[in-house]
A and B are shown apart, each in its own frame.
Chain A
Amino acid sequence: EAGVVQSPRYKIIEKKQPVAFWCNPISGHNTLYWYLQNLGQGPELLIRYENEEAVDDSQLPKDRFSAERLKGVDSTLKIQPAELGDSAVYLCASSFSLAGGFTDTQYFGPGTRLTVL
């Protein structure tokens, strides 16, 4: 079974440029997460989707970050414009959730390492 797929794996851009990351979750997983991992830190949740709905985006900096999961499968996270401080690893994870709150284990992709110059 294929795991969580992310692309690109590495991205180098200049500040003020836009950038987008793509994630394809494990087949059958209805819940998708985007995490931000700064160097030497643990991941921090940016946004969580259940199917097409963003159920928790409280940590997403909405002035420059946006995300979508139009068909409830793959997802795109965008930054526009990028700042130097956005240099980090962006992780995508997926899990299976049932109505009523049960959420199974989260499986993580390899991440996209963003460098902003």
Chain B
Amino acid sequence: AQSVTQLGSHVSVSEGALVLLRCNYSSSVPPYLFWYVQYPNQGLQLLLKYTTGATLVKGINGFEAEFKKSETSFHLTKPSAHMSDAAEYFCAVSATPRNAGGTSYGKLTFGQGTILTVHP
């Protein structure tokens, strides 16, 4: 079974500071990895995803994440925080087509989320 752990349910940064949101996964084989953002009273929006290829993935709004197989991590970063980045961020995993059994491919397993606060 796959699982996701997001370290820190709340992260607070100053505007212009580095944003680092941590995500570790547990999976017997490397999965696909995702970061979603959720603004208040809205659905989840995909920030970026890793499937294959380059392990450093760039997403929308200046975010990027690096897949580190040896550390089973997929941390999300942004060099300079903006007030509009304040939201809740979710890391998620899914099985790859090669490793999925039965109906499990496409199923997203989410972490518990990290609320990002940005101070002026």
Residues of A bordering B, CB below 8 Å: 3-4, 31, 40-45, 48, 55-56, 91, 93, 95, 97, 100-103, 105-111, 113
CB interface residues, B 23-49, toward A, < 8 Å: 36, 41-46, 49
Which of B4, B92, B103 is within 8 Å of A55, CB to CB? Answer: B103
Size bracket of the B interface:
20 to 34
Interface string of B79-92 (1 = CB under 8 A from A): 00000000000101
4 pairs of A and B residues whose beta carbons are closest in the complex: A42-B110, A103-B106, A108-B43, A101-B97
Across chains A and B, the number of contacting residue pairs, with CB separation under 8 Å, is: 61
Contacts of A113 in B (CB 8 A): 41
A80 to chain B, nearest CB (A): 25
* Complex CA distance for A66 and B113, rounded to whole angstroms: 27
Q: Judging by beta carbons under 8 Å apart, are A56 and B97 in contact?
A: no
Q: Judging by beta carbons under 8 Å apart, are A56 and B103 in contact?
A: yes
